Amino acid sequence: MKLAGFLLLLAGWGIVIAACILLVPATARGLFVLAGLGVELLGLALVFRSHIVLRGERG
Amino acid sequence: MTPLPTTALSGDAVVLCSFFVLLVPLAAGGIALINTGLGRSRSAAHSMLSSLCVVAIAAIVYFLCGSAWQGFAGRPAHVFLFGGREWSWLAAEPFFLRGLRVEDSAATLVVLLQMFSVGLAALIPLGSGADRWRLGARCASTALLAGWTYPLFAHWVWGGGWLAQLGSNYGVGRGFIDAGGSGTIQSLGGLSALAIAWILGPRRGKYGRNGMPAAIPGHNSVLVLFGSMLALVGWSGLNISGAILFAGSEPARAPSIAINTLLAASAAGMAVVLLTRFRFGKPDASLAANGWVGGLAASSAGCALVTPASALLIGLMAGVLVVFAIELLEWRLTVDDPGGSIAAHAVGGLWGLLAVGIFARFPGQRPYSAYAPESGMSGQWLAQLVGIATLLGLMLPLIYLLNWLLNRVYPLRVAAEGESQGMDLHELGADAYPEFATHTDDYGQH
Chain B touched by A59 (CB under 8 Å): yes
Q: Do B396 and A20 touch (CB under 8 A)?
A: no
- Inside any domain, residue A24: yes
Q: Give the pLDDT confidence score for residue B210 in this predicted structure.
A: 80
A-B contacts (CB, under 8 Å): 73
* Mean predicted confidence (pLDDT) in B293-313: 97
Which one of B198, B389, B397 has the shortest CB-CB distance to A16? B389
- Minimal C-alpha gap between B393 and chain A (Å): 4
Q: Is the pLDDT of residue B12 over 90?
A: no
Chain B touched by A57 (CB under 8 Å): no
Q: Give the pLDDT confidence score for residue B378 in this predicted structure.
A: 58
In angstroms, the CA B315 to CA B47 distance is 28
Q: Give the pLDDT confidence score for residue B371 in this predicted structure.
A: 37
* Mean predicted confidence (pLDDT) in B311-324: 98
- Inside any domain, residue A59: no
Helix axis angle, B24-38 relative to B285-300, nearest 10°?
A: 150
Give, in degrees to the nearest 5, the angle at Cα B260 between B254 and B263: 140
Query: CB-based burial of residue B64 (10 Å sphere; 0-12 exposed, 13-18 middle, 19+ buried)?
Result: middle
Q: Is the pLDDT of residue B366 over 50?
A: no
Kindly give the pairing relationship between strand B77-82 and strand B85-91. Answer: antiparallel
Q: Give the pLDDT confidence score for residue B293 in this predicted structure.
A: 98
Chain A touched by B396 (CB under 8 Å): yes
Mean pLDDT is lowest, of B8-12, B69-73, B372-376, B440-444, for B372-376
CA neighbours closer than 13 Å in the CB half-sphere of residue A1 = 12
Residue B9, CA distances (Å) to B104, B179, B244, B256 in order: 10, 16, 9, 19
Query: CB-based burial of residue B205 (10 Å sphere; 0-12 exposed, 13-18 middle, 19+ buried)?
Result: middle
The number of domains in chain A is 1
* Mean predicted confidence (pLDDT) in B341-370: 82
Which one of B82, B379, B400 has the shortest CB-CB distance to A21? B82
Instruction: Give the mean pLDDT of chain B.
Output: 91
Q: Give the pLDDT confidence score for residue B446 in this predicted structure.
A: 44
Alpha helix (H) residue ranges in B308-431: 308-327, 341, 348-359, 366-371, 380-390, 396-409, 416-421, 423
Which one of A10, A37, A52 has the shortest CB-CB distance to B385? A37
Q: Do A20 and B388 touch (CB under 8 A)?
A: no
pLDDT band at B202, cuts 50/70/90?
Answer: very high
Q: Give the pLDDT confidence score for residue B46 in this predicted structure.
A: 97
Q: What CATH fold (topology level) applies to the domain B14-208+216-427?
A: Ammonium transporter fold (1.10.3430)
- Inside any domain, residue A16: yes
pLDDT band at B437, cuts 50/70/90?
Answer: low
Q: Give the pLDDT confidence score for residue B374 in this predicted structure.
A: 44
Residue of B nearest to A4 (CA): B397
* Mean predicted confidence (pLDDT) in B435-444: 58
pLDDT band at B368, cuts 50/70/90?
Answer: very low
In angstroms, the CA B352 to CA B303 distance is 9
Would you give the DSSP letter of residue B8? G
More confident residue, B90 or B438: B90
* Mean predicted confidence (pLDDT) in B427-441: 77
Q: Give the pLDDT confidence score for residue B367 in this predicted structure.
A: 42
Q: Give the pLDDT confidence score for residue B364 in this predicted structure.
A: 55
B37 close to B222: Cβ distance less than 8 angstroms: yes
Provide, rounded to the nearest whole percent, the portion of chain B with pLDDT above 90.
81
In angstroms, the CA B273 to CA B218 distance is 17
Chain A touched by B385 (CB under 8 Å): yes
Alpha helix (H) residue ranges in chain A: 2-22, 26-58
In angstroms, the CA B212 to CA B330 distance is 9
pLDDT band at B412, cuts 50/70/90?
Answer: very high
Q: Do B396 and A9 touch (CB under 8 A)?
A: yes
Q: Do B394 and A34 touch (CB under 8 A)?
A: no
Q: Is the pLDDT of residue A19 over 60?
A: yes
Q: Give the pLDDT confidence score for residue A56 in this predicted structure.
A: 52
Which residues from chain A sit within 8 angstroms of residue B386, using beta carbons? 16-17, 20, 33
pLDDT in tens, B44-58: 999 999 999 999 999
Q: Is the pLDDT of residue B375 over 90?
A: no
B378 close to B173: Cβ distance less than 8 angstroms: yes
pLDDT band at B13, cuts 50/70/90?
Answer: confident
Chain A touched by B82 (CB under 8 Å): yes
pLDDT in tens, B60-116: 999 999 999 999 888 889 998 887 888 999 999 999 999 888 777 788 999 999 999
More confident residue, B373 or A35: A35
pTM of the model: 0.94
Identify the domain containing residue A20 by its residue range.
2-54
More confident residue, A55 or B212: B212
Residue of A nearest to B391 (CA): A13
More confident residue, A59 or B270: B270
- Minimal C-alpha gap between B9 and chain A (Å): 33
Which one of A11, A14, A29 has the shortest CB-CB distance to B382? A29
B35 close to B123: Cβ distance less than 8 angstroms: yes
Give, in degrees to the nearest 5, the angle at Cα B181 between B178 and B184: 95
Q: Do B392 and A40 touch (CB under 8 A)?
A: yes
* Mean predicted confidence (pLDDT) in B205-223: 91
